[in-house]
Structure 1
């Protein structure tokens, strides 16, 4: 009986040791977020212009992008999910927040809000965006295709509706390089949107 207990303890110890060894050898996940424009990069609008207020609608993403893993494209129709490289949170929320921060810098206005709004007054403009494609091709390029619109907040009149297609070349296959390139494509689209938002008169 004693030998049986010793054997049982030895088997359990061995199983735990193997399990711990497996855990120790597994790589840990890496998490990424997009980075907005800095004030120096934005080349802000004239400080004499009266700041506009803007409401950012939730950014829409294709279903295949609504997941924590970073999605890359391999060929025309095949996609891959990164096992250990992931978005730190909702990609849709991250894009909305970065778009808002970019417009803050580009339009020299601190009255840019992401839905749900922190303020209740009617915004001068409503910005909506739907991501049609976000193709991340390691070692090749990032391609962003986005449909967006700007509407006047008071009456909902359409100011501009566009489809923007922008790309960034990748110098290596690393995920940090890829995520930075996604941020730069969003920067280009943010600049296009900012150009369609007229400054308010004093």
Structure 2
């Protein structure tokens, strides 16, 4: 009679020891400093389009294993879409207190009166074999009266990973987006300021 009990106990212990690890969820932009109030005197720019590659339009975090090989995690997921997370970071970073323009989402009031449209295309935003986080993107600005770009820029940002694990990598992704926002802010701010003086 003891043998079946011992066998059952052994199976239960084995099942507990081989249980799959938990699933983790991440956000690119967590709660923090609220967005600044809209400056009515600043030029308005609408984030008209934000394009991501197909591999970033799924839930698993992505790591590059080789030049042409990507790994999609089955235990580490985004809690929101990448496009929503990126847009949230950009809106907070580009709408600082001293900004020379105000960035609006397509759902913001007053978007129809916006003077410029910002278009962003991401080529990569991923972890590179536990060594770095890489952001590659292109952006351009158009005006209401001219569909041709009045400004065009490229960004290639790489930040070294100094710790292991996905939480650290996600924090580095957030930092790359902050740097990307700074580059956009400088380029757009210069153009908009020059246009105001003419």
For normalisation by structure 2, the TM-score amounts to 0.75
Q: 1:54 is matched with which residue: 26, 38, 45? A: 45
Worse overlay, 171-180 or 147-156:
147-156
2:20 is matched with which residue? 26
SS, match of residue 70 in structure 2: strand
SS, match of residue 80 in structure 2: coil
1:179 is matched with which residue? 170
1:78 is matched with which residue? 69
- Report the alpha carbon displacement of residue 49 of structure 1 after superposing the two structures with TM: 9.7
What is the CA–CA distance in structure 2 between the aligned matches of 1:55 and 1:156, rounded to whole Å? 14
SS, match of residue 95 in structure 2: helix
What is the CA–CA distance in structure 2 between the aligned matches of 1:50 and 1:116, rounded to whole Å? 20
SS, match of residue 177 in structure 2: helix
SS, match of residue 171 in structure 1: coil
Alpha carbons 2:119, 2:140 under 8 Å: kept: yes
1:146 is matched with which residue? 137
What is the CA–CA distance in structure 2 between the aligned matches of 1:151 and 1:124, rounded to whole Å? 9
What is the CA–CA distance in structure 2 between the aligned matches of 1:110 and 1:151, rounded to whole Å? 14
1:99 is matched with which residue? 90
What is the CA–CA distance in structure 2 between the aligned matches of 1:129 and 1:107, rounded to whole Å? 23
- Report the alpha carbon displacement of residue 106 of structure 1 after superposing the two structures with TM: 6.8
2:104 is matched with which residue? 113
Q: 1:87 to 1:129 in 2, by over 3 A?
A: same
What is the CA–CA distance in structure 2 between the aligned matches of 1:82 and 1:55, rounded to whole Å? 33
For normalisation by structure 1, the TM-score amounts to 0.74
What is the CA–CA distance in structure 1 between the aligned matches of 2:100 and 2:88, rounded to whole Å? 15
Q: 1:32 to 1:58 in 2, by over 3 A?
A: farther
* Larger-Rg structure: 1
Which of the two has greater strand per residue? 2
What is the CA–CA distance in structure 1 between the aligned matches of 2:85 and 2:179, rounded to whole Å? 16
What is the CA–CA distance in structure 1 between the aligned matches of 2:69 and 2:111, rounded to whole Å? 44
Identify unmatched segments of 5+ residues in structure 2: 1-7
Alpha carbons 1:69, 1:81 under 8 Å: kept: yes
Identify unmatched segments of 5+ residues in structure 1: 1-13
Q: 1:192 to 1:87 in 2, by over 3 A?
A: same
Q: Which digits, 9 at most, give the CA deviation of each residue in 1:136-192, with x for residues without a partner? A: 124300111101112223544523111111110001221111111111111111111
Task: Report the RMSD for the aligned CA atoms in angstroms.
Answer: 3.3
